[in-house]
A and B are shown apart, each in its own frame.
Chain A
Amino acid sequence: MTDHGTKTAPGTVLIVDDDSDYLAQMEVQFAARGYRVLTADGRAAAEEILAATRPDLAILDLMMDNADDGFMLSWSLKKRYPDVPVVLVTAVTSETGYTFEGRTGASSWIRADRILSKPVRFEQILAAVEGLAGHGG
């Protein structure tokens, strides 16, 4: 593992995406920053992990190939662990122009703290994650 200074371990991140390449990239980059990384390629696998582990952070793809799996997963994750920050990433906006702006938050049906639009750089995800952690998570 690479040394990233004296900061304490940032914790466990759960990454869920049905694109195995994207999953591999996220895994390598989060691991390099000291995270313990759990990955799942779909909702079922993610639910299994969540039943056993409380992550400190979750990055979920909307997985639109499987209808609303991403939304359902974020819903059930927030129900189980209300304090775990959830970042949703989706290619929906770049592919359809549909925007989720202003649709997050406690009153929304979308249970995510941030929604990022794919293609998204790892730095953007990291910035979002650090921003959420900075606000007390």
Chain B
Amino acid sequence: MKQWNELTTAGGTGVHPAGPIIAARGLTRVYPLEACEVIGINEVDLEVRAGELVVLKGDSGSGKSTLLALLGGMDRPTRGCLMVAGQDLSTAGVWDLTRFRREVVGMVFQSFNLLPTLSALENVCLPALLAGVSYGKVRSKAMELLAWLGLESRVHHLPGQLSGGEMQRTAIARALINDPPLILADEPTGDLDSANGHRVMEHLGELNRRQGRTVLIATHSTLADPYATRTVRLKDGGIAEMTWAD
């Protein structure tokens, strides 16, 4: 079995390029409703250097998920400037955002978001297939990732046949298949028991420390704290506090 560090490509060799990987200035997202507007985030300035593990904290409605959606190219800001991995997401077109989501970012969701009709292996292969990699080539890499995450005996199981922890590890493998430099995790332990939650956090920590990937985790939980290089506390759509780890 390959060691986890052998699975990396140049995107995660631990070498950190100069300049922030994320640079947001005056970032704002407003949602119009029938009779009013809901402010997701408001005038957020944030820089994240490559290789950091940033934990986003805040109560429900503080803007964590909104910020993650913007950083992940899943939404567009209403105002402000957002550069991620050298790409200007505030003015990017639909196709550019699609490519960005394939190549630059790997998402890990609270509710796992595995496609129920695909097996664990197929779910992991999916982003690479969408990026145009042949099935034969991606399949072997997916098998290795799943083995690294201890899922070698579950590769052909459907999500409905996996436990919560197994589903989330599958989701992590899926997030890694295209070797993205940036991993975004939205409440990755929210639907897990404490043991599985610890395990997932360990994997995310390894991705950061040993592979050098930039990881942003939005969470209420304290499980991520030991791994954080920085904690950003959000409140009412803005940054209330920022603390760096020693």
A and B together in one complex: no
